[in-house]
Amino acid sequence: MAYEILHPSQGAEIRGVLFDMDGVILDSEKLYARFWAAGCEAFGYHMTYQQALGMRSLSAQMGQEYLSSLFGPDISYAQVRAKRIELMDAYVEENGIEAKPGIFELLEYLTARQIPYAITTASPNDRIQNHLGRLGLYEKFPHICTAHEVAHGKPAPDIYLLGAKTIAVPPEHCLALEDSYTGLLSAHRAGCMATIVPDLDQPGENILSIAYARADSLADVVDLMEGSLQGS
């Protein structure tokens, strides 16, 4: 299965594409999982791999609530996050970071067809520029929207509404590419064609019940779009 339309009723003509960054553009979620766990361990809390996956795309408030649900009220999201950043930045500085397969081909496809696109991410600007810049991707994105520009982070719809406004495409005509439930829910609530591109785990029913489509890779997103554009 390269791609599958799960809920055709949600489909509209695709006029723009909105990208989550970590886990979609960058093969970085495996590092976040590793170093969220390491950050917790530094303060005496043992976080499992599956628990670390639950941190994906969470805002600071929701991240604190999630950590507190796992380890009690004394754990500090801010402290653990600071340690995670320290450890992960040191790793990336020494080892670099990888792009997800198919990203360059997908961007070439969108550019050739003059389909506007933007990044919609919870990551801060300095990390976006550093990580994308290492791969020659930063200059390929004319529009980058971050959760720091909106009132509420994912899973609220704010970041995807901003992304759609930035590329001047109504949300219902935006294909939104996500790898996590939190991000997908944000895109779905914004009215986008929320599409899951699985990364570290396979989508459960909570994802499949709201996703417009599923694509196995970014290369398969090209095929998905070709099918949509030919059918429009």
86 or 1, which is more confident?
86
Q: How confident is the model at residue 228 (pLDDT cuts 50, 70, 90)?
A: confident
Cα(210)–Cα(192) distance, rounded to whole angstroms?
11
Predicted confidence (pLDDT) at residue 1 exceeds the cutoff of 80: no
Mean pLDDT of 79-93: 95
In this structure, what are the phi and psi dihedrals at residue 29, rounded to the nearest 5 degrees?
Answer: -65, -30
Mean pLDDT of 32-38: 95
Q: Are 88 and 121 in a shared domain?
A: no
The CATH number assigned to the domain holding 61 equals: 1.10.150
pLDDT digits (tens, 9 = 90+) for 115-132: 999 999 988 898 899 999
pLDDT digits (tens, 9 = 90+) for 41-76: 999 999 999 999 999 888 888 999 999 999 999 999
Cα(222)–Cα(228) distance, rounded to whole angstroms?
10
Predicted pLDDT of residue 59: 82
pLDDT digits (tens, 9 = 90+) for 98-119: 999 999 999 999 999 999 999 9
Cα(194)–Cα(192) distance, rounded to whole angstroms?
5
| Domain limits for position 56 | 29-95
Q: Which among 73, 95, 117 is the end of a domain?
A: 95
Q: Are 114 and 188 in a shared domain?
A: yes
Q: Which among 70, 95, 120 is the end of a domain?
A: 95
The CATH number assigned to the domain holding 23 equals: 3.40.50.1000
pLDDT digits (tens, 9 = 90+) for 155-168: 999 999 999 999 99
Helix (H, G, I), strand (E, B) or coil at 200: coil
Predicted pLDDT of residue 66: 96
Helix (H, G, I), strand (E, B) or coil at 177: strand
**How many structural domains comprise the chain?**
2
Q: Are 224 and 181 in a shared domain?
A: yes
State pTM to two decimals. 0.89
Predicted pLDDT of residue 11: 86
Q: Are 80 and 66 in a shared domain?
A: yes
Predicted confidence (pLDDT) at residue 230 exceeds the cutoff of 80: no
Cα(79)–Cα(93) distance, rounded to whole angstroms?
21
Q: Are 20 and 46 in a shared domain?
A: no
Q: Are 65 and 106 in a shared domain?
A: no
| Inter-residue contact 19 to 117 (CB < 8 Å) | yes
Predicted pLDDT of residue 137: 97
Q: How confident is the model at residue 147 (pLDDT cuts 50, 70, 90)?
A: confident
Predicted pLDDT of residue 232: 47
Q: Which among 95, 110, 140 is the end of a domain?
A: 95
Q: How confident is the model at residue 87 (pLDDT cuts 50, 70, 90)?
A: very high
